[in-house]
Structure 1
Amino acid sequence: GAMSVDSITDLSDNTSKLLEALQLSHPHELDPRRSLGKKKMLSLNPISWQVPRIVDRCCKHIETHGLQTVGIFRVGSSKKRVQQLREEFDQGLDVFLDEHQSVHDVAALLKEFLRDMPDSLIPRELYSPFLSTASMEGPAQLATLQLLLFLLPPCHSDTLHRLLRFLSQVAQHAQSSQGPEGQEIPGNKMTASNLATVFGPNILQKDKPGEKDAVAMNFEDSAAIIVVIQRLIEHYQTLFTVSPEMQLDILRRLFQTDPDVIDYLLRRK
């Protein structure tokens, strides 16, 4: 009889890769407003949502307290307080970020964490392929970026998605707006381009920061990084939604090679 597949460890490496690509959501599931009451989150990883606690909590804190903060990510922070927060997270403590924490300290902590990851959020072996998309335009650029995103390890993919969703929110509050009573609500001035300038070098790294043989980044690479990260921020919803055509194509291949996996996927829905 057919083998029952109940965990990712039961599957071959190749099948695991396919499963990662198949753990898909419909486009509407990317909209947090439609997901209220649902615990399921979009992930290219079929088993669990893998986002470091420090990233998620920093994002949530700024989403709650800092979207209207002018110059968020550009205004200085307290090095002492940032270091203290970082040590608490490093020790595995359940760090609670509330309104008493400075938004600028939390913003600096998030940037530092991404900068100092042992392997950058977009792995260094994908640095050149991602950078090459900067010279592309339109649908071809987005299609290539999406295929490259599918190559990310699950934890990198999940964390990048969480970060881009957050940065997109920050960018939506860049311009000043009017409140319900006509009062002006100041914008934070951090457009997608400004955010890409700040976060690009932390997300897309050619060399590990501080390495002895690290080469100073040239202007062309710096400009290309900004273009690529800006596209990721602006189009993250599209990029993290796999088309029905691609889903069908993968399912057809699986049906021919690993029908047990389809049974596994159907039972997870």
Structure 2
Amino acid sequence: MSDASTFPGGTAVSWLDVYDSESIDGLRGGSPHMHLASAECYVVVGGRGRLQTLNRSGVKETQLEPGVVVWFTPGTVHRAINDGDLRVLVIMQNAGLPEAGDAVMTFPAEHLVDAETYRSAAQLPERLTEAERQADADRRRDLAVRGFLELRDAAEAGDFAPFEAFAAAAARIVQPRVGEWQGIWRGVVGAQADETRRSMDGLAAGDWSSLLAAGVFEASANPGDRRFGMCGRLRTYQLAR
């Protein structure tokens, strides 16, 4: 990529309506998954729910209600639970990486053998109706929940070996794409950091010419219907020049 993001920090933003269909454990919500290189932040704007998380530090559940801001770093398995009309503004580190595959859902081990096996379980087929697309998203979610419950139950019993095995499998699955991620990062986050460094170097030397390039930008929503994401229905925005 050659265009630097105009959004602060090289981040991405999207509106998320968390799925309200019931999963195999009776809870309503999204697909548990882990990001491999990017942190994620929830700014809760409506409704109520919970964020279930699992990492090497243990299992945690965070209550979600309007005004709550919570974030989690790469390597954290997370699952959004919708207890009533949960709406979230999602801020993602490293704009472009999540869209390039920086997430692996917690499918059972037999679906994590390699990238192709994982993709066959993760990819949603093309469907004509929204009801069919929702049903496919629910089936994918339930598969991820099944794997998540196994990881969580083991961790609660003090056994983190299954979690570590999942993390290792996730790293193998994404490894072929890391070179692509590095190019995206350099063109977005790296480019913005370089621009800030040049500006500060100039200011330190008494050169304020960087201020003459100031601008005001407005993001437009990407066209098309809200897509079926891992956690719910997403509305993404065009944030690059």
Q: Which structure's CA Rg is the greater one? A: 1
Which of the two has greater strand per residue?
Answer: 2
What TM-score do you get using the length of structure 2 for normalisation? Answer: 0.31
Relative contact order higher in (CA < 8 Å, ≥ 6 apart): 2
